[in-house]
Amino acid sequence: MLKTSKNKSDSTIFIIFGGTGDLTKRKIMPALYNLFLNKWLPENFAIIGTSSTKMNVQKYIDDLRSAVDEFSRNGKTNDEDWKRFSANITFQDADITDSAAFKPFGKLIDKYKKEWQKTPSIIYYCAVAPRFFCTIAENISKANLENDPGTTRIIVEKPFGIDLESARELNKKLLGIFDETQIYRIDHYLGKEVVQNIMAFRFANSIMEPLWNRNHVEHVQISVTEQIGIEGRGNYFEHAGILRDMIQNHLLQLLCIISMEPPINFNADEVRDRKVDVLKAMRKIETGKVETMSARGQYSSGWIEGKEVLGYREEKNVDPDSNTETYAALKLYVDNWRWQGVPFYLRTGKRLFKSASTITLQFREIPHNIFLSEESGAPKQNRLVISIQPDMAIRFQLQSKVPGLEMNLNTVDVVFDYSASKKTDSPEAYETLLLDAITGDQTLFMRADQVEAAWELIMPILNYWEKNKEQNFPNYSADSWGPENAEALIARDGYHWFNLPDNK
């Protein structure tokens, strides 16, 4: 949350399409329960789960409790708290492709209005496959359900489109039913505590602004590496690939936060305007330069922590000759006064050596080195390392004298470590984002032009990769740091990827 406080809504109704699905069980319901425990939910609230499956309300509530027990950061529920929370949950089966099936939602909304004697905020959460987003929006309209621009919101998950054309079409259809102020395009990375703290770190500390530009920053790396594979999502991943799944949204959003200009205030549109400015300033990747500005990979079989794992082409529902990338790296430039000439390197991949999400700013060398003797140890370049996972920390890597009679230098970390200071328990990303949706704060949600600008940037790469099949797949083994062409991408400029434990 970027604002210093949140105003509670008087009353809120959540209607969760996909109410029996994995996202609801793993993320949405644990987040709502934790908000309830921390007294952030309104005094009057209702949660209406829905799916095509017919289900007894008590069975639904029991299933949700099992999920919250398993996935909540607060551990298992206790009887008293769960009883008070679950009293606000109900279930309504509905075929989301049939507008007539939406009529019961209107009756439930009217019921709560009369019971509370208040006009509630209505949040429609589309926890379903993207192909149903427009269907749900259209049927909300056909069923004449609540759609007051001041109190009604719709939340849609990623992926928001599969390319620029489909994203534009989706925006067009949603904006034909809802106002932009009602549409909450969710990217859970923006709700992570460390990601939000980047804003505070940059804009609440006067010492950072003079350093945060091309005069002092040599290059920037944004890295999200994962040990896991596709986890049975072959049908999805075959049509997505890692460039769509991670870079178009998560990594580009991180790049925007790192490189944006200071906003005038934390008004949602002011912050998002500055992010869009970054995307508009990104240097376009010409078709003839895709090979030198990007790298792709696909994992083969191998061993992860003593366990043998399949190669991507051996995974369930994956084409044995698949050309889908499970690793992608890009070299990008932001062509403006602050960042002109500073390369931004982005990489992400599956089945890599270690799971980690880091942002590293490497600063330029000192202008004159007075520590030239072998005994002294030449000073290394300073780095600012923002670790999002597995640990949450911000590290400034500086040079300092090693205690002793000789002038020997060593790298020391000045660390702000979340895990070491647990005075307050950090909320999960979905807790932050759901609370923002309840209070009507769109700061951490993507706007239509932001989504389309991100797609526009990566389309030349997507088009090139789809037309030019990679002949060397698979080209990296499980438990490695990725393909050789990704190392070459950054090595051509005289740099290397910062891998853990380098960042520690």
Query: Which of 361, 357, 325 minimizes the C-alpha distance to 343?
Result: 361
Distances (CA, A) of 51 to 124, 127, 233, 302: 13, 10, 21, 39
Residue 188 marked as a ligand binder: yes
Q: Is 96 flagged in the annotation as binding? A: yes
95 labeled binding residue = yes
Q: Which of 216, 219, 239, 250 is catalytic?
A: 250
Does 226 carry a binding-site annotation?
yes
Cβ neighbours of residue 239 under 8 Å, at least 6 residues apart? Answer: 162
CA trace torsion 232, 164, 261, 417 (10° rounding): 0
Annotated ligand binding at 482? The verdict is no
Asked whether residue 22 is marked as a ligand-binding residue, the answer is yes
CA distance 38 to 381: 43
DSSP 8-state symbol, 27: I
CA–centroid distance for 46 within its chain = 27
SS3 416: strand
- Say if residues 488 and 314 touch (Cβ distance below 8 Å): no
User: Does the annotation mark 250 as catalytic?
Assistant: yes
- 25 labelled ligand-binding: yes
Asked whether residue 21 is marked as a ligand-binding residue, the answer is yes
DSSP states of 173-216:
HHHTTS-GGGEEE--GGGGSHHHHHHHHHHHS-TTTGGGSSTTT
How many Å is the Cα radius of gyration of the chain? 24
Of 135, 134, 125, the closest CA to residue 160 belongs to 134
Phi, psi (degrees; rounded to nearest 5) at 153: -135, 150
Structure tokens at 387: 């670790």
Q: How far apart are CA 20 and CA 77, in angstroms?
A: 19
| Bridge partners of residue 12, in order along the sequence | 45, 121
CA 471 to each of CA 84, 242, 299, 468, 475: distance values in angstroms, whole numbers, following the listed order: 59, 18, 14, 9, 9
| DSSP letter, residue 314 | G
Q: Distance between CA atoms of 259 and 7, rounded to whole angstroms?
A: 30
192 assigned binding-site residue: yes
Q: Is 117 helix (H, G, I), strand (E, B) or coil?
A: coil
Q: Is 158 annotated as a binding residue?
A: yes
> Is 24 one of the annotated binding-site residues?
yes
- What is the DSSP annotation of 88-109? TEEE----TT-GGGGHHHHHHH
Is residue 47 within 8 Å of residue 39, measured between CB atoms? no
CB 128 within 8 A of CB 134: no
Active-site residue list = 250
Binding residues: 18-25, 52, 95-96, 158, 188, 192, 226, 245, 350
Binding residues for NADP(+): 18-25, 52, 95-96, 158
Binding residues for substrate: 188, 192, 226, 245, 350
